[in-house]
Amino acid sequence: MANTEQSKKRARQSEARYAVNKARRSRIRTFLRKVEEALAAGNTDAAAAALKAAQPELARGVSKGVLHKNTVARKMSRLSSRVKALPTA
């Protein structure tokens, strides 16, 4: 248990930051899920639009320190290659 004033404050800050990061991670996962669902349905236009919407969210996750930049680069690369592989309408 935190004893000093500073350690109590750091515990409060940690809880607040955890809540914010959890919300950001959840938001990013939602965008990724939309891309995955469009890919599974085979809808090229929807998948491309969902990927275009997800890319800034992923980049924001990196800039806010929620995700590692290489993780996001890998996810973007794999998703974009899968979207590109879909047959055009």
pLDDT tens figures, 3-26: 899 999 999 999 999 999 999 999
Which residue segment(s) compose the domain that 62 sits in? Answer: 5-85
> pLDDT at residue 1 above 80?
no
Question: Where residue 49 sits, what CATH number does that domain have?
Answer: 1.20.58.110
The string over 43-80, giving b where at least 16 C-beta atoms fall within 10 Å of a residue's C-beta and e elsewhere, is ebebbbebbeebbebbeebeeeebbeeeebeebeeebb
Number of domains into which the chain is organized: 1
What is the pLDDT confidence band of residue 83, given thresholds at 50, 70 and 90?
Answer: very high
Share of the chain above pLDDT 90, in %: 93
**pLDDT in the model for residue 89:** 59
pLDDT tens figures, 30-65: 999 999 999 999 999 999 999 999 999 999 999 999
Calpha distance 77→2 (Å, rounded): 43
